[in-house]
Structure 1
Amino acid sequence: MSTTIRRWRVQAARPELSVILSTYNQPLWLEKTLAGYAVQSMRGFELVVADDGSDARTRDVLERIAPRLGLALTHVWHPDQGFRKSAILNRAVEAAQADYLVFSDGDCIPRADFVATHAALRQPGRFLSGGYCKLPMSTSQRIDADDIAQGRFVDPAWLRTNGCSDAAISRKLRVHGHRAVLWDRLSTARASWNGHNASGWRHDILAVNGFDERMGYGGQDREFGERLANLGVRGLRIRHRAVVVHLDHPRGYATAESIARNRAIRVQTRRSRSTWCVHGLRPGPAPLLGPAVPAFEPGLG
């Protein structure tokens, strides 16, 4: 059975951004995440759900929510044959309609300025590396649609009274405006490609042939970012400015074997300085003449 694509509320004009959300059998978390996108301060973007083989519950959630979401929505699905996130992300890239793509997960609720921040800070020759705050299971379960619509889910005081310890409440939720810019400048964290919060230009993603479909769980997003860096597309830290909250969940798909295999692939990518992924969007070696990559401008990284 091949990949299937269903679209709701198709726009006549090309969207300014496409937001790609990965998911697998987490319909309740996905519903909360979509509620966050329904109240974004910026409109004119589309949502693409990259579904790694979920059962009918996810489709049912999308069918119920789509008419009242107020956004163009696409569901890209392939059969469940184990952890194949990289493959479904590649299919979602192909289905997305915008020239600029934002990536996150279906268990990460965006702050109301999330999409607008990625749109405002995009620039040629760079990808954006955003941040997250990981919530405990008790808090994840308590968040409801009204908490999301009113923005309480990113309020440190509300989080504290709903099961989140001070240690778990990230500084990313405490600083705003100029202070957030300052912390992004001062941070020593690498501006890596993080699957829960990153964005880049479609032509750059095509130039490295997307995500490596050999890779299971553990570092496949970082390897993709390393190939972008090898191409000259550098990361820009926006971890205190573009923020999502990550809902807790088990990780039964994480295995020592997949992590070790991915680590070996990443080592090879770094040593060879490779940019093209043979097992990516278009299987096979790189074309003789690849897409042009714009020069980058100096900035944070």
Structure 2
Amino acid sequence: MKVSLLIATYNWPEALLLVLESVKNQSVLPNEIIIADDGSNNETRQVIENFRTTTVIELHHIWQEDIGFRLAEIRNKAIVKSQFEYIIQIDGDVILHKDYIKDHIYYAAKNTFITGPRVLLLKETTQFALTSKITKFNPFTRNIKNRFNAIHAPLINQLIRPKKTPVEKLIFKVRGCNMSFWRQDLLDINGYEEDFKTWGREDSDLSARLIKKGVALRKLRLAGIQYHLNHNEQEKNNIEQNNAILDKNKKATSFWCENGISKQNEIL
């Protein structure tokens, strides 16, 4: 199975550098990296170009103009660009455990999509990682939250079956920074709903429509581990508007969204 690793980023080049270094150190490498860039400046571009000279992994930088939060749109553009059958999706502020890609591949199964855990690095540890270029952490690392999630025991997932999770519970079940899918499933539901123009709920909406299509959710435990760098939270001023979009699509009979990836196919 060949894998496209999709990394969403916006104007945090120091963090993206650590993320890319953790990708380079994977026990199983992705077949390509696609940077989904929602309008970063030239510092981010320079990090990507410098990294390109240090890796054998095929690397693509998909950029769009910075005219506001358009995460759903840039992810759709990256999905269109992807070449391989399986997509692993992360954000540009998460450092990967060395077996992260390996775990997602191992538990990939037809008619299933995956979400995994994350460990939160507190402010002190984040600053140390950024200044010292540290990409290796463990359950005993100081100043981390959700420490249990840092234990790597992937075989426990053999005991956990994928579930067709009720869509009303999805807000609490998925994190877009740690997910993986079959590319064809994403195309079948028309990818991300691009009506989401501010932070929040785009991943829940995508997941709800995948489940409506008949794709079960597998939530990894003690596998697919990532370490999330501390930063200020996104503004949630328009979360009720996004909740309304999510509710509308959950109530619809179709799993297809009109304002989705098909538009990007036409553009690109």
* Alignment of structure 1 residues 50-199 onto 2, 5 Å: 50-143=36-129, 147-148=134-135, 151=136, 153=137, 155-157=138-140, 159-160=141-142, 163-164=143-144, 168-179=145-156, 192-199=173-180
Letter in 2 for 1:156: P
User: What is residue 247 of structure 1 aligned with on the other side?
Assistant: 229
Distance 2:253 2:119 in 1: 32
Q: Which of the residues 199, 210, 234 maps onto 2:216?
A: 234
Residues 259-278 of structure 1 mapped to structure 2, 5 A cutoff: 259-278=239-258
Q: 1:205 aligns with which of 168, 173, 186?
A: 186
In the alignment, structure 2 segments of 5+ residues that lack a partner are none
Looking at structure 1, the residues matched to 61 and 221 of structure 2 have their Cα atoms a distance apart, in angstroms, of 28
1:137 CA displacement: 1.9
Would you say the 8 A contact 2:154–2:221 is kept in 1?
Answer: no
Q: Contact 1:129/1:239 (CA < 8 Å) preserved in 2?
A: no
- Give, in angstroms, the shift of residue 266 of structure 1: 1.1
Structure 2 vs 1, CA of residues 66 and 267 (structure 1 numbering), >3 Å: closer, same or farther?
Answer: same
Give yes or no for contact 1:193–1:235 (8 Å, CA) kept in 2: no
TM-score by length of 2: 0.88
Which structure has the larger Rg over C-alpha atoms?
Answer: 1
Q: Are 1:18 and 1:96, in contact at CA under 8 Å, matched by a contact in 2?
A: yes
**Aligned length in residues:** 257
Instruction: Let me know the Cα RMSD of the aligned residues.
Output: 2.4
User: Deviations along 1:4-50, whole A, 9 cap, x unmatched?
Assistant: xxxxxxxxxxx810010100001000000001000100125211000
Q: What stretches of structure 1 of length at least 5 have no aligned partner?
A: 1-14, 285-301
Structure 1 residues 239, 178: closer, same or farther in 2, change over 3 A? Answer: closer
Q: What is the distance in 2 between the residues matched to 1:52 and 1:146?
A: 24
Q: Which residue of the partner structure matches residue 10 of structure 2?
A: 24
TM-score (norm 1): 0.79
Identity of aligned residues (%): 30
C-alpha distance 224-109 of structure 1, shift in aligned 2 (>3 A): same
